[in-house]
């Protein structure tokens, strides 16, 4: 995906977020239309028809319908035999003699007028009758006569002599239906898009988590507003000992389809986790916001991204990060802590025994506080890849986590002596996570 959009937009280190997202949305919309059509009844019918009309049996049947005439059929041979036999003089005489009724009169004539009877049975007509009666030729004639006078034969003969028989056939109806679908605008569009092979990347991902902040309040079925273990163990919020801010729900503002994590200078009571004393109360001079999917969504490998704009300030840290059951490993998709928001840290933090290990990179190339940018992490078993607006900015293939993680977006003040100009915000337009298919 990164290569596609790098080529599309060119010029500058990162493409315009609006252009990048517009192109991405267009591609997503096109892919949805493509897959919707592929699953449609119309396309399913086309596939059935296509398999049928291209089969050998169907092709041969169409050829037969278009070229075969009545004279080419076995039925015609029988019909011709019938006509030939019907023209025989002895058969005509036989039929005429039968039609006269004389065969039925002979028994009565034998009893009533023997002389006349003897004359009749000596006549050429009777002898012709006697010779044919019961003969194989007569039996064949009668069978053929019954056949050619049947409704089945008459219908077949009429059908075969019809010059428009193919147009009236089921095969022509199927071919016509097949062609009509091929001529439809949706099918033409589908075939054109299919040839372009646009979806190699997008088709390999399944959306597993999405938040567009479209509701009037934060969706508590997706997000918790403090560190996971505080919610899980205390049903309460805490911060770490080095943090100078406390997280409150009121510092998370949902408006206009986006969320803002607002850091303010104000006094509030809260809890701190101290490694020696546990959870202890403390008064804070600053408040801020955190959202975490720790209770609703965790995933091993995939693509994790958010569209974010940072209102930066020295000594104020805005972060988009991932963590699992332990404090390490932790992945920083971004961590801003500079005044001008022109640089941020991306990388991974692990523990080597009791010693922390940090493998990070300082990323620059834009004023990230001037606009929204789409920050992405692609995580496979072998590698972590960081991107901005589809352009790769960092890659790491060592210390790759192998356990499911959840996502966190948060803002912190870590310096007790910090002089911070507030309020400042991190604006989140959306968050999306994907799982690689297959």
Residue-wise pLDDT tens digits, 153-162: 999 999 999 9
Give the per-residue pLDDT at 390: 95
Residue 242 within any structural domain of the chain: yes
405 and 266 housed in the same domain = yes
| DSSP-assigned letters across all residues of 18-71 | HHHHHHHHHHHHHHHHHHHHHTSHHHHHHHHHHHHHTSHHHHHHHHHHHH--GG
212 and 346 housed in the same domain = yes
171 CA to centre of own chain: 32
Position 25 pLDDT exceeds 80: yes
Position 125 pLDDT exceeds 50: yes
Position 338 pLDDT exceeds 70: yes
| Residue bearing tokens 């044919």 | 132
Position 7 pLDDT exceeds 50: no
291 and 417 housed in the same domain = yes
Structural domain count of the chain: 2
Q: How far apart are CA 115 and CA 112, in angstroms?
A: 9
221 and 324 housed in the same domain = yes
- Rounded to an integer, the average pLDDT of 344-363 is 93
Give the per-residue pLDDT at 12: 54
Position 37 pLDDT exceeds 60: yes
Q: Classify strands 258-274 and 239-240 as parallel, antiparallel or unpaired.
A: parallel
Give the residue from 57, 79, 60 showing the smallest Cα distance to 161.
79
Q: CB under 8 Å to 398, separation ≥6 — which residues?
A: 359
Using DSSP, state whether 203 is helix, strand or coil.
helix
Residue 287 within any structural domain of the chain: yes
Q: How far apart are CA 267 and CA 285, in angstroms?
A: 4
Q: How far apart are CA 348 and CA 329, in angstroms?
A: 7
Q: How far apart are CA 247 and CA 270, in angstroms?
A: 8
301 and 395 housed in the same domain = yes
Backbone angles phi, psi at 214, to 5 degrees: -85, -15
How many other C-beta atoms lie within 10 A of the C-beta of residue 280? 12
- 192/419: higher pLDDT: 192
269 and 400 housed in the same domain = yes
Q: Which of the listed residues 148, 168, 188 is the one where a domain comes to its end? A: 168
256 and 344 housed in the same domain = yes
Position 11 pLDDT exceeds 50: no
Residue 62 within any structural domain of the chain: no
Give the residue from 73, 66, 60 showing the smallest Cα distance to 163.
66
213 and 282 housed in the same domain = yes
284 and 406 housed in the same domain = yes
Position 4 pLDDT exceeds 50: no
Strands (E), 294-415: 302-310, 316-323, 330-336, 344-352, 355-363, 373-379, 384-388, 391-396, 406-413
With a pLDDT cut of 90, the percent of the chain lying above it is 85
Give the per-residue pLDDT at 5: 42
Position 106 pLDDT exceeds 50: yes
Residue 86 within any structural domain of the chain: yes
Q: Which of the listed residues 168, 198, 226 is the one where a domain comes to its end? A: 168
Using DSSP, state whether 343 is helix, strand or coil.
coil
Give the residue from 418, 11, 398 showing the smallest Cα distance to 244.
418
Residue 167 pLDDT level (bands cut at 50, 70, 90): very high
What are the beta bridge partners of residue 198?
none
Q: How long a stretch of residues is the chain?
A: 438
Residue 175 within any structural domain of the chain: no
Give the per-residue pLDDT at 3: 45
CA angle 229, 235, 238 (to 5 degrees): 55
CA angle 55, 57, 60 (to 5 degrees): 105
Residue 182 within any structural domain of the chain: no
CA angle 359, 226, 356 (to 5 degrees): 25
Residue 192 within any structural domain of the chain: no
Q: Which of the listed residues 168, 192, 227 is the one where a domain comes to its end? A: 168
217 and 162 housed in the same domain = no
* 434 in Cβ contact with 303 (< 8 Å): yes
CATH number of the domain where residue 233 is located: 2.60.120.200
Q: What is the pTM of this model?
A: 0.78
Position 362 pLDDT exceeds 90: yes
* Dihedral over alpha carbons 175, 181, 183, 184 (to 10 degrees): 160
241 and 352 housed in the same domain = yes
* 299 in Cβ contact with 404 (< 8 Å): yes
142 and 230 housed in the same domain = no
Q: How far apart are CA 153 and CA 147, in angstroms?
A: 7
Give the per-residue pLDDT at 9: 39
* 367 in Cβ contact with 393 (< 8 Å): no
297 lies in which domain range?
208-436
Mean pLDDT of all residues in the chain?
A: 93
Number of Cα atoms under 13 Å in the Cβ half of residue 232: 9
């Amino acid at each position: 995906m990164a290569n596609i959009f790098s080529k599309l937009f060119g010029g500058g280190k990162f493409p315009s977020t609006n252009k990048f997202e517009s192109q991405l949305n267009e591609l997503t919309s096109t892919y949805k239309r493509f897959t919707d059509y592929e699953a449609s009844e119309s396309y399913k019918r086309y596939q059935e028809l296509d398999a049928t009309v291209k089969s050998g049996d169907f092709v041969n049947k169409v050829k037969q319908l278009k070229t075969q005439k009545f004279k080419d059929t076995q039925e015609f041979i029988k019909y011709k035999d019938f006509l030939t036999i019907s023209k025989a003089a002895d058969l005509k005489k036989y039929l005429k003699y039968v039609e006269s009724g004389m065969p039925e009169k002979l028994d009565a004539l034998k009893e009533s007028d023997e002389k006349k009877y003897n004359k009749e049975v000596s006549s050429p007509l009777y002898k012709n009758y006697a010779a044919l009666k019961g003969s194989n030729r007569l039996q064949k004639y009668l069978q053929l006569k019954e056949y050619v006078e049947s409704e089945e034969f008459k219908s077949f003969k009429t059908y075969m002599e019809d010059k428009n028989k193919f147009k009236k056939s089921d095969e022509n109806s199927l071919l016509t239906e097949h062609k009509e679908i091929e001529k439809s605008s949706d099918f033409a569009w589908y075939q054109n898009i299919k040839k372009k092979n646009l979806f190699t990347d997008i088709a390999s991902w399944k959306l597993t988590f999405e938040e567009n902040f479209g509701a009037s309040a934060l969706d508590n079925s997706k997000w918790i507003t403090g560190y996971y273990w505080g919610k899980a163990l205390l049903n309460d919020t805490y911060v770490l000992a080095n943090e100078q801010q406390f997280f409150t729900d009121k510092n998370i503002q949902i408006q206009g389809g986006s969320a803002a994590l607002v850091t303010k200078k104000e006094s509030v009571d809260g809890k701190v986790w101290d490694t020696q004393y546990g959870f202890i109360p403390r008064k804070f001079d600053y408040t801020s916001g955190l959202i975490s999917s720790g209770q609703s969504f965790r995933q091993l490998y995939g693509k994790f991204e958010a569209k974010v704009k940072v209102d930066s300030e020295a000594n104020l840290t805005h972060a988009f990060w991932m963590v699992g059951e332990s404090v390490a490993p932790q992945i920083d998709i971004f961590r801003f802590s500079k005044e001008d928001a022109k640089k941020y840290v991306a990388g991974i933090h692990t523990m080597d025994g009791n010693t922390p290990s940090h493998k990070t990179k300082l990323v620059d190339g834009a004023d990230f506080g001037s606009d929204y940018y789409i920050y992405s992490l692609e995580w496979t078993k072998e590698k972590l890849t960081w991107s901005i607006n589809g352009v790769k900015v960092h890659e790491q293939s060592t210390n790759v986590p192998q356990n499911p993680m959840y996502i966190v977006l948060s803002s912190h003040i870590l310096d007790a002596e910090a002089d911070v100009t507030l309020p400042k915000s991190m604006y989140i337009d959306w968050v999306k996570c994907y799982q690689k298919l297959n």
